[in-house]
Amino acid sequence: MDRILSGLPFIIGTAFELYEFILFVYCLMSFIPSLYGSSFGRFVASLVNPLLDLIRKVIPTTIGFLDFSPIIAIILIQLLQKVIFMII
Split at pLDDT 50, 70, 90, the class of 1 is low
Query: Residue 85: its pLDDT value, please?
Result: 85
pLDDT tens, position by position, 27-64: 999 888 888 889 999 999 999 999 999 999 998 878 88
Q: Taking 60 as the threshold, does the pLDDT of residue 11 lie above it?
A: yes
Q: According to the model, what pLDDT value does residue 26 have?
A: 94
Domain ranges within the chain, ordered by starting residue: 1-87
Above 80 in pLDDT, residue 4?
A: no
How confident is the model over 60-84, as a mean pLDDT?
89
pTM as predicted: 0.84
What value does the mean pLDDT of the chain take? 89
Contact 72, 59 (CB under 8 A): yes
- CA distance linking residue 59 with residue 78, whole number of Å: 18
